[in-house]
A and B are shown apart, each in its own frame.
Chain A
């Protein structure tokens, strides 16, 4: 089966569940209703033969509603077909059903999304933090979490302090300038450099 035949079969089986479809460079992405993602995943695994889950990742669309997006990268070893499923998770009720019983690899991927983004996967067999320690109060990959971190204290386990940015952060910033403006060697925190400012500096 090709990728198109697969998406047609998903569309035929769940006509109400699919809210969008995108094809870019021979990669197919399907947007799924949050309450249907579990049954669509079961259908993909059992009927379409997507026996490999490459990745589960999460995206923070800060300022939009629904805020979060969870992306599943599926692959069929038999047909050598990729398929990307996307679904949304609202900020007020950041929960989504787990698929760890379908693909065991989802166990750690969902733990990472829970740790970094704060999305709860209901039905997960062991939903603990995977990178930070149990008891760390924040979810660091959320857009409203500062890069330098926040202070926290958990006696005997770990603590965190605010990192000095000292002219940083050295991250790409959205601006209309050249590469030197977009990725400055140093800048003050909170300051957005412009083309004029870059050209005026020696």
Chain B
């Protein structure tokens, strides 16, 4: 865990509510536990996505229950289903409308690789168009698999150096 940032907290009764941590760790902790998904439900994987947010599996235990149907308000796009070429640029457009920082989960075989649709009509994986952080196998994946993918994305977010990266981007833009 040399690369990851771990929040260090000290909440003593005597000193009052004082917490020591790194800014990156605090930001990452907040971001990863409050992921607002953009549900890009395109096929049967979307049914499992709905099941994951229902009571039996309850994605809100991981802080990602606020399904936003507006890309402006979301920060993780869950591409759930077969991306046809006709839909592909619409998915890309919605992705472009999401504000930074943003992440992408390719849920299921079709979104990851085109799945069983080796055909003229289907994009062979959404990573041809947008960067994917987590791929989830399955056709369709069980809701547990989506929750596992979400937890892996949370772990990945915890390793990011948000401030350093933002400063680098700012310097490069100048």
Which positions in A face B, CB cutoff 8 Å?
A: 131-133, 138, 140, 145-150, 156-161, 163-166, 168-170
Instruction: Write out the residue numbers on chain A whose beta carbons fall within 8 Å of the beta carbon of B124.
Output: 161, 163-164
Interchain CA distance A138-B89 in the complex, whole Å: 19
Nearest CB of A to B97, in Å: 16
Instruction: Write out the residue numbers on chain B whose beta carbons fall within 8 Å of the beta carbon of A146.
Output: 120
Near A by CB (< 8 A), chain B positions 129-155 give none
Chain B residue at minimal CB-CB distance from A159: B85
A-B contacts besides A159-B88, A164-B118, A166-B118, 7 pairs, CB < 8 Å: A147-B120, A156-B89, A157-B89, A160-B85, A160-B120, A163-B122, A164-B124
CB atoms of A163 and B114 under 8 A apart: yes
Which one of B86, B117, B123 contacts A133 once the chains associate, using CB atoms below 8 Å?
A: B86
Instruction: Write out the residue numbers on chain B whose beta carbons fall within 8 Å of the beta carbon of A159.
Output: 85, 88-89
Which positions in B face A, CB cutoff 8 Å?
A: 85-86, 88-89, 114, 116-124, 128
CB atoms of A169 and B120 under 8 A apart: no
Q: List 26 A-B contacts (CB under 8 A).
A: A138-B120, A140-B120, A140-B121, A145-B120, A146-B120, A147-B118, A147-B119, A148-B119, A149-B119, A149-B121, A150-B120, A156-B89, A158-B86, A158-B88, A158-B89, A159-B89, A160-B120, A161-B124, A161-B128, A163-B114, A163-B119, A163-B120, A163-B122, A163-B124, A165-B118, A170-B116
Query: Which of A149, A156, A157 has the most C-beta atoms of chain B within 10 angstroms of its own C-beta?
Result: A149
CB atoms of A132 and B118 under 8 A apart: no
Interchain CA distance A156-B92 in the complex, whole Å: 11
Interchain CA distance A164-B125 in the complex, whole Å: 11
Instruction: Write out the residue numbers on chain B whose beta carbons fall within 8 Å of the beta carbon of A166.
Output: 118
Chain A residue at minimal CB-CB distance from B88: A158
Chain B residue at minimal CB-CB distance from A168: B118
Interchain CA distance A171-B114 in the complex, whole Å: 17
Instruction: Write out the residue numbers on chain A whose beta carbons fall within 8 Å of the beta carbon of B118.
Output: 147-148, 163-166, 168-170
Interchain CA distance A62-B47 in the complex, whole Å: 40
Interchain CA distance A146-B119 in the complex, whole Å: 9
CB atoms of A148 and B120 under 8 A apart: yes
Nearest CB of B to A186, in Å: 12
Interchain CA distance A165-B88 in the complex, whole Å: 20
Query: Which of A150, A160, A161, A170 has the most C-beta atoms of chain B within 10 angstroms of its own C-beta?
Result: A160
Interchain CA distance A153-B120 in the complex, whole Å: 13
Interchain CA distance A164-B116 in the complex, whole Å: 11
Which one of A138, A148, A158, A165 contacts B85 once the chains associate, using CB atoms below 8 Å?
A: A158
Interchain CA distance A157-B85 in the complex, whole Å: 9
Interchain CA distance A174-B137 in the complex, whole Å: 33
Chain B residue at minimal CB-CB distance from A152: B85
